[in-house]
Amino acid sequence: MSRSAEWPIAVCSVDVSRPIAPLTGLGRYSRVRVFVSHGDRLIGSVDVWHRGADTLSASRMIDALADRHSETLFRYALRRQLEGTASASPRLAPTSVSIVVPTCDRPDDLQRCLESLVRQRTRHQVEIIVVDNRPSLGRTKAVASRFPSVRLVEEHRAGLSYARNAGILHATGTLVVATDDDVAAPDTWIEKLVEPFSRPEVMVVTGHVLPLELETEAQCRFEAYGGLGKGFAAFEADGAWLRSTRDAAPTWRLGATANAAFRAAVFQDPAIGLMHVALGAGTPTGCSEDSYMFYRILRAGGTLVYEPSAWVWHRHRESMPSLRNQIRAYSTGHVAYHLLTLMKDGDRRAIVRLLYSLPRHLLVRAVQRLRRHSDYPLSLIALEILGNLMGPIALWRSLRRVRRLGPGPAPPVAKGTNAVSLESQAT
């Protein structure tokens, strides 16, 4: 395959419970990535090569879907039929949901995000909180003012965790949903994302993250790197899962706060608290505040549910310099996260991850590239290694920064009550 054929990739979604129509206007694309759903359930994806033709016929798509997903579609249809004859599981009663959207002077992204959030079709009472992490510029305020139902909160300390925590502290819902300003959500997103909370032991739910577009090399490379999505199969994790391996438990595979919902009670639990402000975008560590939040919730006895049908669209970074910065930050934050679990939580499995399994993973990727089993660039693998090496000093700098700026206010506790634990919430 020539390098020029690798991108751009057209992106579309197809609901196979409805008639499939041909796609047009594809002349500059050599392939189409089709995300497949059946009604409101996401099933999988398939790449359809059409070699630059302007139109992709319905029959071509149907053939590709049948080749890739016929067995999955059959199992899904059968399961739907059996579920229809069985007693329905209890639904989550209508409740209050707070959606927290941190932003840092990205007005166009924020506009698209808020347009999708105000269109949510849900039984639940929803409030939307935008946290402006660069309020001196005023552009976020201008966008938020176009949406009368949106509350605007200002957080002057730079950092995604500071901003997310500010929104959490202003949230009034029994459930708190975390997303980002470069995300757009289908109108059934909230309904599907919060439904697993009908089970009292569930403390966090994450959903799939799909690419909004794959127009540039950087956007396609990020998907090859792994993207933000965690696959099309639902799964759960709990305390037993966290303790089940001698290596560090891969909490980074559980989802991301681009698409996650929490019981508000977790932020009041003294064993968990708010997002750790030494981690995350806008700090020297760069990321992994969500991995550490999931770690603490599971360690405290909560259950996490990954529900792929609660998906959102994410606009990946468009330029290669931005992608390189992102990958270096992810690699730095990954090491910082493990060091934090070692120092703060005494989890010695971090040593296994840092000294054995992480170097081995990078070595395998490099060998695959050298043997031409992968087209992921060696330059990006080298950047990952550099980011990993920067992890310890980045965490030290970030902790010093927190001491200077302050960790932030204490988690909220309802008036007349004491701090609660997950165990009491689940019983």
Torsional class of 84: left (φ above 0), alpha (ψ -120 to 50), beta (otherwise): alpha
Quick one: fold of 96-218+228-314+410-426? Spore Coat Polysaccharide Biosynthesis Protein SpsA; Chain A (3.90.550)
Largest CA distance in the chain: 67
DSSP string of 101-169, one letter each residue: EEESS-HHHHHHHHHHHTT---SSEEEEEEEES-GGG-HHHHHHTT-TTEEEEE--S-SHHHHHHHHHH
**Which pLDDT value is given to residue 368?**
93
The answer to whether the beta carbons of residues 422 and 298 sit under 8 Å apart is no
pLDDT at residue 5, as a whole number: 61
pLDDT at position 82: 63
Pairing of strands 125-132, 96-103: parallel
Cβ-Cβ contacts under 8 Å for 51 (sequence gap 6 or more):
30
Query: What is the end-to-end Cα distance of the chain in Å, rounded?
Result: 57
- pLDDT truncated to tens, each residue of the chain (427 aa)? 344 468 899 999 999 888 999 999 999 998 999 999 988 889 899 999 887 789 999 998 888 888 887 777 666 666 666 665 554 567 999 999 999 999 999 999 999 999 999 999 999 999 999 999 999 999 999 999 999 999 999 999 999 999 999 999 999 999 999 999 999 999 999 999 999 999 999 999 999 999 999 999 999 999 989 999 999 999 999 999 999 999 999 999 999 999 999 999 999 999 999 999 999 999 999 999 999 999 999 999 999 999 999 999 999 999 999 999 999 999 999 999 999 999 999 999 999 999 999 999 999 999 999 998 888 899 999 999 999 999 999 999 999 999 999 998 766 554 433 334 555 444 4
Q: What pLDDT score was predicted for residue 74?
A: 67
Residue 80 confidence (pLDDT)? 64
Distance CA(211)–CA(208), nearest Å, equals 10
Task: For the chain, give every domain's residue range.
Answer: 3-85, 96-218+228-314+410-426, 323-405
pTM confidence score: 0.91
User: Can you give the pLDDT at residue 420?
Assistant: 41
Q: What is the DSSP secondary-structure string of 98-109?
A: EEEEEESS-HHH
